[in-house]
Chains A and B, each alone.
Chain A
Amino acid sequence: MKAQEIREILKQELGAIAPEVDLDTLDGEEDLRDEMDIDSMDFLRLTVALGKRLNTQIPDEDQGRITTFDSLLSYLIKRSGE
C-alpha cells in the first residue's frame, strides 16, 4: 500500500473519532492526543480501526512510540511494508 493511501486512511479514521477537528491545521510533530483532545478510549478505538483497515496489529508496547501524527504515519507505513 502506498504511503499516500495510508495517510488518507489515517486521516479518515482520525476524522471519524473527532469530526470537528480540522486535520489540515494539525501539527504533525505535536502530541496527537493533545492536538486533537482525544482520550485513551478514543486512542484505543483508533488503534483498533487502523488495525482493521490496514490489516495489521499494533502491539500494546508500541503505543508509547506513536504519539504524534508523523510518528504514527511512519510507523504505519513501515508496518504495512513488512
Chain B
Amino acid sequence: MPSFGADMQDGTLSQWLVSTGDRVARNDVIAIIETQKGAIDLEVFTSGIVSKLLVAAGERVAVGTPIALIDDGVITDSVATEEPPRPAVPVAQPIPESATQACLTRPSIVPPAPGQGRVRATPLARRLAAEQAVDLSAIKGSGPAGEILARDMLPAATAPAGTPPMDIPAMRHAISAAMSRSKREIPHYYLEQTINLQRAANWLAEYNQDKAPEDRLVLNALLHLAVARALQKSPELNGFYQQGQFVAAEEIHLGTAIAIRGGGLITPAIINADQLDLDEMMKQLLDLSYRVRNGGLRSSEMSLGSVTLSSMGDRGAEKVFGVIYPPQVAIIGLGTPELRPWVNDGKIEPGLLVSATLAADHRVSDGRQGARFLNHLNKILQKPERL
C-alpha cells in the first residue's frame, strides 16, 4: 500500500482492476484505493505480470503492506534456470523506500483514459457498495457519463440526504495531522503583495468574447499558470525538506487546493504545470475539479506535489495565508480579486486587485527570495498575452 501523502496511514483496497496473470505496464491503473481523500486510482510503478494479489477487495491495510506481487522478469537466465519459480516483486515493499522512490521519480503525465474497463462510480457510491457487499460492475450508473452515483446504490427513501461524498471525519483527521506537524516543525514566514489583474482580466474578456463555453478560460487558470511559471526562477520554493535538508524538485508539480462540499480539502498536483499552455491548464483544472468530485484521481497526482497554490477563486475571502503541506517548503495564496482604487501615473483608477501571499519555510529561503518570487509573479501577470 503506497502512501499518497505524508498524512496517509492506511488505505482500503476498494477494487482490483487486474487479475492474476494480467500483464501490466508502468503507470497503468491497477486498483482503486479508498483513502481519507476519497477514491484514488493506483498506478503501478513497474511493468510485468501480476503473479498474486495479496489483499482482497474491501480490506483495509497500513501503508507499506504489500498488496500484490508482480513478476517483472528481472532475473538473469543463468539464475533463472537454477532457481525454481522466479521471485516476484511486491507492489509496495514493507519498507516502502524503494517503491515510494520509484513512484516519486516516475511521474505519470499520461492523461487518464476513461472507460478502460474501470467501473466509474462516485466515492460515496463505492463506500455504499462496500458496505452492502454489492459488486459495482453489476450496477447500471445513472450519472452523466454512466458513472454510478450514490442514488443508484440505495432506495431514494433511505439515501442519506446531503451526505458528503467522502469520509469527512477521516479527512479532517488527516488534515489535522499534516497541519499540526507543519505548524510544529516548519518556521513559516509570510509575505504579501497586491497585484493589479486589470490587464489580465481585460485580455481574458477579449479572449473569451467569441469563444464557445467549452473553449473559454477562467481567471483562475491564468493565475495557476502564472504561479507555475514564476516558480521556475525560485527553486528554493519548489521541493521537499526531508531528513534535515532541502532537496529542490526538478519539476514543478503544482498542488492546487480544491475545497470539498461539506468540508475538507484535497490538493492534487498539476504535473509539470509550468510546461502547459493556457488551454491545457484550463483543461487540467476542469478535469481535476471533476475528478475530485467523481473519483478517478491518480496516485501520482496525490503524491507528487512539490509546492501548493491555494486560490480562493471568485467567492472567497480577500486574503489567504496558507499553512505549508509538509514536506513541501512553500504555499502561495491568492485571495478573491476585487475591484478597488489603484494609483497609476498619479491618477486614481479602478483596478481588479488580488492579494498574493507566500508562506515559506525559513529553513530553506528568506524574505528577500520570497519577495523576488512575488515580484516576478506580478510581472508575468502584467503580460498575460505571453502566457
Contacts and interface: CB of A to CB of B under 8 A. Distances in A.
B164 A41 contact: no
Contact of B162 (A20, A42, A57, A58): A20
A26 interface: no
A60 B289 contact: no
A5 interface: no
Interface in B202-219: 205, 208-209, 211-214, 216, 218
Contacts of B286: 41, 44-45
Question: Which of A16, A34, A49, A58 counts the most B-chain CB atoms under 10 A from its CB?
Answer: A16
B254 to A, nearest CB: 16
A8 interface: no
Contacts of B363: none
Nearest to A34: B315
A21 B150 CA distance: 12
A16 B162 contact: no
> For the complex, would chain A's binding face be called helix, strand, loop or mixed by DSSP majority?
helix
The interface size bin for chain A is: 20 to 34
Interface residues of B, number: 32
B233 to A, nearest CB: 28
Interface string B101-126: 00000000000000000000010100
A19 interface: yes
Contact of A33 (B209, B213, B315): B315
Nearest to B262: A20
A39 B315 contact: yes
B144 interface: yes
Given A40-B314, A45-B290, A19 B212 contact: no
25 contacts: A19-B149, A20-B162, A20-B165, A20-B262, A21-B261, A39-B289, A39-B315, A40-B315, A41-B218, A41-B285, A44-B216, A44-B218, A44-B286, A45-B286, A45-B290, A47-B213, A48-B213, A48-B214, A51-B212, A51-B213, A57-B212, A57-B213, A60-B209, A60-B211, A61-B209
Interface of A: 16, 18-22, 33-34, 37-42, 44-45, 47-49, 51, 57-58, 60-61
Given A19-B165, A39-B289, A45-B286, 19 more contacts: A18-B261, A19-B122, A19-B143, A19-B151, A20-B150, A20-B164, A20-B261, A21-B162, A22-B161, A34-B315, A40-B313, A41-B218, A41-B285, A41-B286, A42-B289, A49-B144, A51-B213, A60-B211, A61-B209
